[in-house]
Amino acid sequence: MIQLSRRALLASALLPLGAAVAPARAQTAAAPADFGKVAAPLFSALAKTHGIPGLVVGITRNGQHEILAIGQTARTDGRPVDGDTLFELGSVSKTFNVTLAALAAERGRLDLNAPLDKVAQRLTGTAFGALTPLDLATHATGGMPLQVPDSVRNEKELVEWLAAWKPAAAPATRRAYSNISIGVLGLVTATALGTSFPRVAENDLFPALGLSSTFIDVPEAAMARYAMGYTAADKPTRVTPGVLAPEAYGVKSTAIDMLTFLDANMGVGKVAPEMARALARTHTGYYETSSYVQEMVWERYPWPVTRDRLLAGNAPDMALKPQPIKKLDPPSPPAPVSFINKTGSTSGFGSYVVMLPAEKLGIVVLANRYYPNEERVKAVYALVEGLLGGAG
Cα end-to-end distance, the chain, whole Å: 38
Q: What DSSP letter does each residue of 363-386 carry, written as one string? A: EEEEESB---HHHHHHHHHHHHHH
Q: Is 91 a catalytic residue?
A: yes
Q: What are phi and psi of 3, to 5 degrees?
A: -120, 130
> Distances in Å between the alpha carbon of 133 and those of 96, 97, 136?
15, 11, 5
Output b/e per residue, 196-207; b: 16+ Cβ within 10 A: bbbebbbeebbe
Q: Write the secondary structure of 250-278 as one string of H (helix), E (strand) and C (coil).
A: CCEECHHHHHHHHHHHCCCCCCCHHHHHH
> Of these residues, 5, 12, 93, 177, which one is catalytic?
177
The count of other CB atoms within 10 Å of the CB of residue 280 is 15
**To which H or E segment does residue 197 belong?**
helix 197-200
Q: Is 5 a catalytic residue?
A: no
> Of these residues, 5, 12, 44, 91, which one is catalytic?
91
Output the CA torsion sign for 108, 284, 185, 144: negative
The residues carrying an active-site annotation are 91, 177
